[in-house]
């Protein structure tokens, strides 16, 4: 049995990603996000087509008790996670001077502090003799030297922080069975993109991107560690 943990499975790329993993009956997939109704719908959809086991947890990454909630989940699961995908994210599109401290807190808590907490808890619970591949989902907006977009100060800065965290953790755990990489995605047609940029149409669908992330997650750890990989045909 291969154990997978995916955050942000209730919609967009995460929803499609869970379906990719669910197609392999050997996979046990744990999915976290706030919207439990959407997660139940996803589980039902997977059960109609696939044999794999999906376990759902309603978690808000902005909860003050997040650390304890994640510990409880991992204690209950009592498993080694072979693949962890930090996919959940939030985007606020606002001129910089209009961004509030609360905006910055929400964005950094969801996009940086929560993945850091999850990684910490997974590492503490995992079996050191088995392999783990942690994949952090960042954005081209947080990729050094890429074209930047106005209104995305908090979002892009948070994604750059997540990318940097990837490099630092890869160094810290280089002599262990943990491999950690970061995918900096270009635009993907999801609810997040639609809400932030209603007039923009991305060339890549959530399903297409999920297929790529799935392949990278299951194969990438043999060739990459501590890498921030741009996944975009449009953004230089």
User: In this chain, which stretch among 56-64, 96-104, 127-135, 144-152 interacts with ligand NAP, using CB under 6 A?
Assistant: 56-64
Q: Which is nearer to ligand NAP, 73 or 185 (CB)?
A: 185
E-strand ranges in 59-215 read 83-86, 132-139, 178-185
- Tell which one of 3, 5, 6, 12 touches ligand NAP (CB under 6 A): 12
Q: What are phi and psi of 32, to 5 degrees?
A: -120, 140
Q: Is 211 in the site for ligand NAP (CB under 6 A)?
A: no
- Which of 24, 29, 56, 25 lies closest to 40, judged by CA? 56
Q: Is 115 in the site for ligand NAP (CB under 6 A)?
A: no
Does residue 138 contact residue 183 with C-beta atoms inside 8 Å? yes
Q: Is the dihedral of CA 37, 81, 125, 62 positive or negative?
A: negative
Residue 128 Cβ, how far from ligand NAP at the closest point, in Å? Answer: 28
- Tell which one of 14, 115, 220, 230 touches ligand NAP (CB under 6 A): 14
Question: 3-class DSSP state for residue 85?
Answer: strand
* Whole-angstrom distance, CA of residue 236 vs CA of residue 231: 10
- Tell which one of 4, 5, 10, 19 touches ligand NAP (CB under 6 A): 10
- Which of 124, 108, 221, 120 lies closest to 168, judged by CA? 120
Q: Is 230 in the site for ligand NAP (CB under 6 A)?
A: no
Q: Which is nearer to ligand NAP, 119 or 185 (CB)?
A: 185
Query: Would you tell me which residues interact with ligand NAP (CB under 6 A)?
Result: 8-14, 33-35, 38, 59-62, 87-91, 110, 137, 139, 185, 187-188, 190-193, 202, 206
């Amino acid at each position: 049995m291969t154990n997978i943990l995916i955050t942000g499975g209730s919609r967009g790329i995460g929803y499609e990603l869970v379906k990719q993993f669910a197609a392999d009956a050997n996979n046990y997939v744990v999915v976290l996000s706030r919207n439990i109704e959407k997660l139940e719908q996803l589980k039902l959809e997977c059960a109609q087509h696939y044999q794999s086991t999906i376990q759902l947890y309603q978690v808000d990454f902005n909860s003050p008790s997040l650390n304890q909630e994640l510990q409880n989940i991992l204690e209950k699961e009592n498993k080694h996670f072979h693949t962890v995908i930090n996919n959940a994210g939030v985007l606020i599109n606002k001129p910089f001077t209009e961004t509030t401290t609360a905006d910055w807190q929400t964005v950094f808590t969801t996009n940086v502090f929560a993945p850091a907490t999850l990684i910490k808890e997974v590492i503490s619970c995992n079996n050191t003799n088995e392999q783990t591949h942690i994949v952090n989902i960042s954005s081209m907006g947080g990729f050094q030297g890429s074209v930047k977009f106005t209104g995305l100060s908090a979002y892009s800065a948070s994604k750059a922080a997540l990318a940097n965290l990837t490099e630092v953790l890869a160094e810290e755990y280089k002599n262990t069975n943990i491999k950690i990489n970061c995918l900096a995605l270009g635009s993907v047609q999801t609810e997040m993109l639609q809400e932030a940029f209603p007039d923009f149409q991305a060339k890549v669908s959530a399903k297409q991107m999920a297929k790529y992330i799935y392949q990278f997650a299951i194969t990438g750890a043999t060739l990459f560690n501590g890498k921030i990989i741009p996944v975009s045909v449009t953004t230089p």
